[in-house]
Structure 1
Amino acid sequence: MTVASYQQLTQTISGNLAPLRKSVPGVMAGFHEMGKAAIADGALDAKTKELIALAVGVAARCEGCIGFHTKALARLGATQAEVHEALGVAIYMGGGPVAMYAASAVQAFDEFKPAA
């Protein structure tokens, strides 16, 4: 599936999560803290961890994951080559269906990366 705009998708998802942040704040805060802890620099840096997260999101066929993780990768200065290599690993692990979502991730990263 191809999304028309990953920038719009991430904005829409963020807005749609607002009611959950109000009705189940502990769950949403816990999820946020888990994400911060998972991506924090350690033996692997944040960019490497986001590349892994993107590959897992593609393999799981999660359009929202593709949007949010490509946005983070653009912010962290990932190169197109790094994103493409991570997508190559996802395709290797998931085959044809994952290749279709990898194409979506290419679109999403291109939307979020700074203009050259």
Structure 2
Amino acid sequence: MRKDFKLATTSYPELTNAISTQVGQLRKNIPNTMKGFSAMAQGATSDGSLDEKTKELVAMGIAIALRCDGCIGFHTKSLIRLGASRQEFEELLGVAIYMGGGPSLMYAAQALDAWEQFGGLRK
């Protein structure tokens, strides 16, 4: 991809920041629901037989399959934080494309855009 070409108009850092702001409001307004969701997220992503990075790779594949822009942003950010390589990320995108066909290809391209926007290394 040319470095001067932007695939999408979505700014994933801006999108995740905006969602985080609204989630903060939900934490205040529906605290029991949000505590339950947070507990579920912690239980699902904590190390077990699979490590946290592997679980985030699975979550990213699901985010692409379900076409969730916010999920793509948050899971991309987490994968970069967890030290995923671009090669691991691209292999995940390949599996997501295989499982989801053309629509997943479109969202895989957007996920690659999110990777670059969050500072993931280019080839």
Aligned partners of 2:77 and 2:18: how far apart in 1? 14
Aligned partners of 2:105 and 2:66: how far apart in 1? 12
Residue equivalent to 2:3: none
The answer to whether the 8 Å contact 1:71/1:112 transfers is: yes
Residue 109 of structure 2: which of 94, 103, 107 is its match? 103
Identity of aligned residues (%): 53
Moved more, 24-33 or 62-71: 24-33
Pairing of 1:1-116 with structure 2 (within 5 A): 2-113=8-119
The answer to whether the 8 Å contact 1:10/1:64 transfers is: yes
Q: CA RMSD in A?
A: 1.6
> TM-score of the superposition, structure 1-length normalised?
0.93
Count matched residues. Answer: 116
The SS at the match of 1:51 is: helix
Aligned partners of 2:9 and 2:75: how far apart in 1? 15
Aligned partners of 1:26 and 1:4: how far apart in 2? 32
Which runs of 5 or more residues in structure 1 are unaligned? none
Q: Deviation string for 1:27-71 (max 9, x for gaps)?
A: 111111111111111111100100000000000000000000000
Aligned partners of 1:32 and 1:39: how far apart in 2? 11
Aligned partners of 1:3 and 1:59: how far apart in 2? 20
Q: Deviation string for 1:61-116 (max 9, x for gaps)?
A: 00000000000000000000101111111111110001000011101111223568
Which runs of 5 or more residues in structure 2 are unaligned? 1-6
Between Structure 1 and Structure 2, the one with more helix by share is 1
> TM-score of the superposition, structure 2-length normalised?
0.88
